[in-house]
Amino acid sequence: MNDQTLFEGATKPRPFEAGIYKEFDAGQFSRKDCTVAFYTRVDALLNPTVTLLNLGAGRGANIVADYSSYRRKIQTFSGRVAKVIGLDVDPAVEENPDLDEAYVIDPSGKYPLLDESIDIIVSDHVLEHVDDPQGFAAEIDRVLKPGGWFCARTPTKWGYIGIATRSIPNSLHVRLLSRLQPQRKAEDVFPTRYRLNSISDLRDAFPPERWRHCSYGYNGVPSYHANRSLFFRMIDVYNWLMPNTLSAKFHVFLQKRPDAQNS
């Protein structure tokens, strides 16, 4: 198993980081795995009575294409909660295998959901694409029950991913990512805005008097390294040197305060 790994009956290329982290083959993830860290914390908030909204659910590439059976398991909500609803601007959401209900939405419009009908919202790599932070936050506030959680993972504005992405025009992102992340499909690349990707941005959109902030910076396995060991290790050292506010990503955990009733 030096360059290939068995993946549900088919042989696929072995992930690059498998050659970096000696523990990788014990579960097919590293000790620094960002996906495992984020979804483990989300999992701690789940119970069988929960109605969960996957906001930006997409086609379910994280479940269909992930090389690790453990990572696929912790990213799958169906069967672990009462209902999974998916919303996305991309019609591909209707193909997502993890959803009980799927809706294509207008990002500037209201979600097709009742007020205070959702217990937990999970939004993975969506905040960096938001055009209108206040409108986005208002819809989350409207549909989330008091005491409910908004859980999001996103690059930070001032981490290396955020700085690099904002320095390059959106029109060039697909071409560049084909080199830096060869495994990523073009249909999974969307224009970025970075208007909700700093601590101050989050506090402006989700005011502390209405939301309990439990977010933190996280540096996981380096991304955008073009599968080159030297580049990978340089990013890893850079991440180690950076303070929390300049981490590559935020793991956003916001609880709507129990007394925050909708008007």
Q: Is 10 exposed, middle or buried (0-12, 13-18, 19+ CB in 10 A)?
A: exposed
Bridge partner residues of 249 (DSSP)? 155, 218
Query: Which of residues 16 and 103 earns the better pLDDT score?
Result: 103
Residue 245 has pLDDT above 90, yes or no: no
Q: Rounded to two decimals, what is the model's pTM?
A: 0.85
Range with the poorest average pLDDT among 81-85, 127-131, 165-169: 165-169
Residue in the block written with tokens 């290939």: 4
CATH of the domain at 84: 3.40.50.150
Question: What does the pLDDT average to over 83-92?
Answer: 96
Of 1-15, 52-66, 233-247, the least confident: 1-15
Instruction: Assess contact for 12 and 3: CB atoms under 8 A.
Output: no
Mean pLDDT check: name the lowest of 5-14, 135-144, 147-156, 184-193: 5-14
pLDDT confidence of residue 40: 98
Six token digits for residue 210: 């209405």
Mean pLDDT of 103-126: 95
Number of domains in the chain: 1
Query: Does residue 151 fall inside a structural domain?
Result: yes
Residue 131, domain member (yes or no): yes
Q: Which residue has the higher pLDDT, 122 or 11?
A: 122
User: For residue 86, what are the β-bridge partners?
Assistant: 54, 102
* Cβ pair 246, 217 in contact under 8 A: yes
Residue type (1 letter), 64? V
What confidence score (pLDDT) does residue 190 get?
57
**CA–CA distance, 26 with 226 (Å, rounded to integer):** 25
Q: What is the pLDDT of residue 200?
A: 94
pLDDT, mean of residues 35-43: 98
Residue 164 counted as domain residue: yes
The mean pLDDT value of the chain amounts to 86
For residue 106, give its domain range: 32-256
Domain assignment present for residue 22? The answer is no
- 46-84 in b/e form (b: 16+ CB < 10 A) is beeebbbbbbbbbbbebbeebbbeebbebbbbeeebebb
DSSP-derived pairing of the beta strands 118-124 and 51-55: parallel
Q: Is residue 191 in a domain?
A: yes
CA pair distance 113, 119, nearest whole angstrom: 12
As a whole-number percent, the residues of the chain with pLDDT over 70 amount to: 86
Residue 10 lies in a domain: no
pLDDT tens-place string over residues 185-231: 434 445 788 999 999 999 999 999 999 999 999 999 887 777 788 88
Q: Is the pLDDT of residue 251 over 60?
A: yes
Give the span between the Cα atoms of 63 and 147, in whole angstroms: 28
Which amino acid, one-letter code, is at 140? I
SS3 content of the chain, % helix, strand, coil (to 5): 35, 20, 45
Is residue 207 one of the residues assigned to a domain? yes
**What is the pLDDT, as a whole number, of residue 8?**
43
Where does the pLDDT of residue 233 fall: very low under 50, low under 70, confident under 90, or very high at 90 and above? confident
Q: Say which residue, 6 or 89, is predicted with more confidence.
A: 89
Domain assignment of residue 20, yes or no: no
Taking residues 165-184, report their average pLDDT: 54
